[in-house]
Structure 1
Amino acid sequence: MLSPARAVYVAVSWMTVAPVPQPRMPMDRSVGAAVMTAIPVVGILLGAGAAGLAAAMSTTDLPDAMIGALVVVALALATRGMHLDGLADTADGLGCYGPPERVAEVMRSGPAGPFAVATVTAVMIVQLIGFGSLIGQHRWYELALAIALGRIVAVIGCRRRLSAAHPTGFGALVAGTQHVSVIVWTVVASAAGFLCGLSPESLDVGAAVQGVVVTAVVVVAGWWFTAHCARRMGGINGDVLGAGIELGVTVAVVGLLV
């Protein structure tokens, strides 16, 4: 059983390009479970880094939309583009007709199809405009929160009711491993959303309620999306979890700007 600190370390080594040595341990389901429990911490680190980068670039003459685009690119580079790749494969899989075997074949086919291109393009455009809007208003906390909230969808996707689509691969390592963590991270995320309305001088009740509602929407959307993917694909795989993360970030940034 990994300690929480060790779980975060392994999660960072798996999910980012951070220059940390790869852990020397057998990669079994107990490790996979610990890593998925720690995924939101990786989201917090990425969100904080993205907010810091955006704040630094905002001191230049770069337009807000350009900074938003650069933040999207930086996040893609920091995560090896794996979530965008998962989004592309999942979009192509959901866009085809047929049984789970056919969906799996399309997802493994390699070249991105029209559904993949359209979905990834739409998500990146929404994110860069959304990030740019938050940056223009100097809402650094909300920017970091949106990025962190997306990672909760990966935890939700690994809940006990959903099995792995294939007996091998990342999905088999992590599917069905999360239970209490789903509840814990939902509560933590709701509290983080409430802090959107908190300032040193006062509490903006409307902003606080909005933050909590956005968190609830991300959780519900993530629950529905992963359940839908599991029905179409016969279970969960790593691509679905990556797609869920990107969609979670997108839903969160839109919700925070409504």
Structure 2
Amino acid sequence: MSGLLAALGLFSVLPVPASARTPGPGVLRWLPVVGLVLGALAFVPALAVWRGSDGGSPLLAAVLVVGGLALLTRGLHLDGTADLADGLGSGRPAEQALAIMRRPDVGAFGVAALVGLLLVQVAALGAVLADSCRPAGLVAVLLATTAGRVGVLHAAARPAATGSSLGVLVAGSASAGVRATATVLLLAAAGGLPLAGGGNAADAVWAAAAVGVALAMTTALTAHAARRLGGVNGDVFGAVVEVGTAAALVVLAAGVTWT
């Protein structure tokens, strides 16, 4: 439980004992569980404005969920996304790109990445909620928030970039067994939870596809970032979370469009 509490203290605003806030090499293995907790909590405000399918405002509900996730994480992953976009967008060598990423300001590439990702997440989730009952909507949110964080487990298998304090603590800490177990469990949940939420076989297939695409997208992003920066760091992890979440939601939105 100390690892879970450390993960909650590091990656969310949820209160944990001060003694449990020190991250260690095993903290990342709890990140998918953190995604489940945050996804469930962020979904609660949506229930005030959305009753399922066309009842209420699915778009406003999507805004509340995405905004809730940002608040629950202190914007940590969004900040990392903006920093990585500025660093990679600069086209500079690794050392200079990392220096740009450490600056406190957000550049044009970072702003464009944040606006684009948030718009995609809100629009995609809104499309999903417009065609879903409440249990199915919750399943969609949980799969998306967890998929991005399982992507971080895979990203952590790479060496840490120079000067990365967070990367030194957690990069390489998720073993192959942990990564494989988390991936298999997520795919199994993607196939089973839609059925439990009132969906059909097609919904389960699309949910599994959403997880697969999200992991493929995060793997590609991690490989590109590691090649450009010489390794991974906390900003890469943050971008992986946000890109994985967006990719999963886009595929789920495609599913409600074509089924």
Q: TM-score, normalised by structure 1?
A: 0.89
CA drift at 1:215: 1.2
1:115 equivalent to 2:109? Answer yes
What is the CA–CA distance in structure 1 between the aligned matches of 2:67 and 2:163, rounded to whole Å? 33
1:248 equivalent to 2:248? Answer no
What is the CA–CA distance in structure 2 between the aligned matches of 1:249 and 1:17, rounded to whole Å? 19
1:34 equivalent to 2:26? Answer yes
Deviations 1:87-127 (A, max 9, x none): 00000111012210111121122221111001100100111
What is the CA–CA distance in structure 1 between the aligned matches of 2:179 and 2:96, rounded to whole Å? 31
After the TM superposition, list the runs of 4 or more consecutive aligned residues in structure 1 that deviate by more than 6 angstroms: none
1:102 equivalent to 2:109? Answer no
1:73 equivalent to 2:67? Answer yes
The aligned residue for residue 46 of structure 1 is 38
The aligned residue for residue 47 of structure 2 is 55
User: Which residue, 175, 192, 200 being the options, matches 1:195?
Assistant: 192
CA contact (8 A) 1:195 1:211 kept: no
CA contact (8 A) 1:54 1:67 kept: yes
- Residue range with higher mean Cα deviation, 84-93 or 149-158: 149-158
The aligned residue for residue 152 of structure 1 is 150
Opposite residue 208 of structure 2, the aligned amino acid is V
The aligned residue for residue 183 of structure 2 is 186
**CA 1:247/1:88 → structure 2, altered by over 3 Å: closer, same or farther?**
same
CA drift at 1:57: 3.1
Opposite residue 234 of structure 2, the aligned amino acid is G
The aligned residue for residue 214 of structure 1 is 210
Deviations 1:136-162 (A, max 9, x none): 223221122212211111111101xx1
Q: TM-score, normalised by structure 2?
A: 0.88
CA contact (8 A) 2:148 2:215 kept: no
CA contact (8 A) 1:123 1:247 kept: yes
Gaps of 5+ in 1: none
- Residue range with higher mean Cα deviation, 230-239 or 14-23: 14-23
User: Which residue, 48, 65, 79 being the options, matches 1:85?
Assistant: 79
CA drift at 1:168: 4.5
SS at match of 2:103: coil
What is the CA–CA distance in structure 1 between the aligned matches of 2:228 and 2:204, rounded to whole Å? 36
CA contact (8 A) 2:191 2:207 kept: yes
What is the CA–CA distance in structure 2 between the aligned matches of 1:15 and 1:199, rounded to whole Å? 29
What is the CA–CA distance in structure 2 between the aligned matches of 1:229 and 1:22, rounded to whole Å? 33
CA drift at 1:20: 1.8
Q: What is the percentage of aligned positions where both structures have the same residue?
A: 35
What is the CA–CA distance in structure 1 between the aligned matches of 2:42 and 2:108, rounded to whole Å? 30
The aligned residue for residue 230 of structure 1 is 226
RMSD, aligned α-carbons: 2.0
Gaps of 5+ in 2: 255-259
CA contact (8 A) 1:17 1:80 kept: yes
What is the CA–CA distance in structure 1 between the aligned matches of 2:117 and 2:11, rounded to whole Å? 20
SS at match of 2:25: helix
Opposite residue 153 of structure 2, the aligned amino acid is V
Deviations 1:159-201 (A, max 9, x none): 1xx1111245111111111222111111011011102441477
SS at match of 2:19: coil
**CA 1:53/1:257 → structure 2, altered by over 3 Å: closer, same or farther?**
same
SS at match of 2:235: helix
